[in-house]
Structure 1
Amino acid sequence: MNRTLVILCGGDSSRMGTKKALLPFEDKTMVEYIYDKFSPFFDKVYLSVNERGDLTHLGLDAQEIPDISRNAGPYGAILSCLTMLSGDRAFFMSVDTPFMDPRIAVYLYDQSYNYDITSFKFSGEFLDTICGVYNKRCIGPLFKSVFFKQTTRSYIEDRCYTNLIDTEEIETLSSISMEQQFFKVNDRSSYYYAVFSILKHNFVC
């Protein structure tokens, strides 16, 4: 298998008012929920954090990687992680997308061997979605984007060998809709929606 996962757990969480990774979700925290869901599909898991030690109390079998710069956003976190990974690439996802199906992560990973970046061809409200496989060959362009404060998806993808897969592929991989898969827990109302959705699903099952 030899796949690597990075869960992006940093950021200021200004709209939420507290760390999203530690929000209660089912009978655990948000990051534990995602870890338990995705780790069976990956050999190695990393947690991207603001400061080393942020999540060590959870006891997850995952190495923490602190951000090089707190002001560079998710691409700064991806840069930090790529410099520390033991392998050549990893699938990156945000801790605030708990409904994502691990099968699409595996699919992207399997399509990523020859590319610097492999992701879906997002548009509209999903343009800022952080979901994809990044290779260590991205380190140079990512460093330049952080240095020149051009941390946008288009700036980075234009400077990397990028494979963007049509989002229609998601429908063939999972019964979970794209809107649900990439639903973001950004604030209290979206968090309550996510918690209710999980409770409703478990009740029906």
Structure 2
Amino acid sequence: MTNPPFFEITCVILCGGKSSRMGEDKSLLPFASSKSLTQYQYDRLKPYFKNIYLSSKVNKFDFLNNDSIIFDENKDIFSPILALDTIFKKLKNQKIFLITVDTPFVSIESISKLIEKSKDVDICVAKTEKIHNLCGVFSSNISESINTMIESDIHKIGYLLKNNNTLLINFPNDNEFMNINNKEDYSNSLEFISKNNNSNKQKNTNS
């Protein structure tokens, strides 16, 4: 049996979004057999990474202490650029795998490919029908670029990608990178994971 991959870089799960389209904090919604989407994402990724953190404005989670959370310094503005600035202030001189809490279907195989391809670039992110700006590897080399953007009041991740050494990695399955943004997405994702779990159970029964 092949050993699962183990990544010698840190993973940060972004959980500080506004969830305006969901109408409630999606990071706390129940998911599969987990009490929350955050706990599901954390538990499935933790075995594969040297270190793993959550990025959030506050500790709203009941399964982690503050040591595992990187607190966004700006409590009033919801900006991934500001979150990245805080992350790189804590995690200096390294590459980090970033993923949003609302993309629970990105496979370990795809994560492994992104990490493998990131060696010679500052940013390496996934691309299907669109660019998945916050699913990939980010180097602390971009800290200066982030600071310049903040000083200029620019908060678009796309701008960060365009102005740094960025590699886009194509993946064939758009569903794998689906975001859970609204109630319909949430319902569809629960149905999707239920079908997957049942399929896996069936395979185990037949094997």
Q: Which residue of 1 aligns with 2:17?
A: 11
Deviation of 1:140 after TM superposition, in Å, equals 0.9
Q: Which residue of 2 aligns with 1:192?
A: 187
1:73-120 CA deviation, whole Å, 9 max, x = no partner?
222212211111166110101001111112211221122223211113
1:113-172 CA deviation, whole Å, 9 max, x = no partner?
23211113455xx3464111111111111122122122223421233222222x1xx34x
Distance 2:57 2:102 in 1: 15
Q: Which residue of 1 aligns with 2:105?
A: 99
- Give secondary structure in 2 for the equivalent of 1:14: coil
1:4-59 CA deviation, whole Å, 9 max, x = no partner?
101000011112122222110111111111112212221100100012x222x213
Report whether the alignment pairs 1:148 with 2:143. no
Root mean square deviation of aligned Cα: 2.1
Q: Which residue of 2 aligns with 1:174?
A: none
Which structure has the larger Rg over C-alpha atoms? 2
Paired residues in the alignment total 192
Residues 112 and 62 of structure 1: is their aligned pair in 2 closer, same or farther, counting only changes over 3 Å? farther
Q: Which residue of 1 aligns with 2:197?
A: 202
Report the TM-score when normalising by structure 1. 0.84
% same residue? 28
Match of 1:24 among 10, 14, 30: 30
Deviation of 1:61 after TM superposition, in Å, equals 10
Residue correspondence of structure 1 range 115-130 to structure 2 within 5 A: 115-121=121-127, 126-127=130-131, 129-130=133-134
Match of 2:91 among 81, 85, 95: 85
Unaligned stretches of 5+ in structure 1? Answer: 172-176
Distance 1:61 1:77 in 2: 16
1:18 corresponds to which letter in structure 2?
E
Task: Name the stretch that deviates more: 69-78 or 132-141.
Answer: 69-78
Q: Which residue of 1 aligns with 2:164?
A: 160
Distance 2:51 2:17 in 1: 22
Deviation of 1:62 after TM superposition, in Å, equals 6.8
